[in-house]
Amino acid sequence: MPALSDGTSLPDVGFGTYPLRGDEGTQAVLSALDLGYRLIDTAVNYQNEDAVGRALAQTDVPRDEIVVTTKIPGRDHGFDETLASFDRSAAALGLDVIDLYLIHWPNPSVDKYVDTFRAMVRLKEEGRVRSVGVSNFTPEFLTRVADATGVMPAVNQVEIHPFFPQTELRAFHAEHGIVTEAWSPLGKAAPVKESAPVAEAAQAHGVTPAQVILRWHLQLGAVPIPKSGNPGRQRENLDLAGFTLTDDEVAAITALGRPDGRLFDGDPNTHEEM
C-alpha cells in the first residue's frame, strides 16, 4: 500500500481502462472489482467515465474501498475550465468525490498546467478531490507547480516498462515524496514479455512473463495499472504476492531500458494532447 504525501494511500496494483468503453467497459470494471482491484484508472479522453460510473453503481464493493482516478484533458486546462471539467467528470462517474485527480498531459506550449493544478488544490480543499496528482510530468514541471502552489503533486503517472524504466525520474519522485504510477506497465505486452530476462525469471518462479513484469514494478516501488479486458488475465495481473524477484533479476530487467524505449513519441516536453 504505497503511502501518499497527503496521508492517504494507493493499492499496490491498479486497473487501466483504456480503451474499454460502453458495456464492455462496464463489464471489465465490474470483473476487475470482483477480482479485488481497488484502484480504477480512467480519463475524460478515454470516453469511458460513464462506463466506469455504471460499474461503480452496480458493484457490491463499498465505495470507500475504491480509489477512482480520472484525468483532466488538455482542452480543459485553466482555473475555471478545470472546475467545470471536474463537475462534468464527477457527473459522468456518478460521484461526489474523485479520489485521485490528475492532469493528463502538461502541454507546456499552452502553459496552463499551473493554473489547472491551482484549481485542483482548491477542489481538494473543498473536499471534492481526495488526492491531487499529475501525469507525464518532468522534474521541471513538477517543481514549477510545487513552487507556485505550495503543494507537490502526490502522484505522477508516467510511462514505465522494462524498455523504458525511467530510473532518473523515479529517483526524483523518491526524493520529493511523489508516488510513481506506471502506465503501459506491460509495454502493451508482446516484445517486452519475450525478452530473455523476463522469460528466464518467469520460468525460474513458475509464473507468467506478465507477472514477472508487474512484480518488477512493485519491487521498483511503482504502482502499475495494467489493462486487460479478459478476467483470466485480470486475475493473473493481480496475483503477484507469491514470489519475489532477486536483485539480479530486477537489475537484468531494468537493463532492458533504452533511450528510444518509449512506445510512441510521448516525450512530455513535446507531445501534447488536447
Ligand X SMILES: NC(=O)c1ccc[n+]([C@@H]2O[C@H](COP(=O)([O-])OP(=O)(O)OC[C@H]3O[C@@H](n4cnc5c(N)ncnc54)[C@H](OP(=O)(O)O)[C@@H]3O)[C@@H](O)[C@H]2O)c1
Q: Where do contacts with ligand X occur on this chain (CB under 6 A)?
A: 16-18, 41, 104, 135-136, 157, 183-189, 208, 210, 225-230, 233, 236-237
166 or 184: whose CB is closer to ligand X?
184
- Active-site residue, selected from the candidate residues 18, 37, 46, 101: 46
188 or 258: whose CB is closer to ligand X?
188
Q: Which residue is nearest to ligand X (CB)?
A: 16
Long-range contacts from 233-242, C-beta under 8 angstroms, 24+ separation: 234/15, 234/28, 234/31, 234/32, 234/35, 234/37, 235/35, 236/208, 236/210, 236/211, 237/13, 237/210, 237/211, 238/13, 238/35, 238/36, 238/37, 239/211, 240/12, 240/13, 240/211, 240/214, 240/215, 242/207
Task: Give, to the nearest 10 degrees, the angle between helix 231-238 and helix 209-220.
Answer: 40
Q: Are 101 and 123 in contact (CB under 8 A)?
A: yes
95 or 182: whose CB is closer to ligand X?
182
Beta carbon of residue 94, minimum distance to ligand X (angstroms, whole number):
19
46 is catalytic: yes
Q: Name the residue among 168, 109, 137, 110 with its Cα closest to residue 266.
A: 137
CA angle centred on 22, ends 17 and 24, rounded to 5°: 65
Beta carbon of residue 65, minimum distance to ligand X (angstroms, whole number):
19
Beta carbon of residue 78, minimum distance to ligand X (angstroms, whole number):
20
26 or 126: whose CB is closer to ligand X?
26
Active site residues: 46
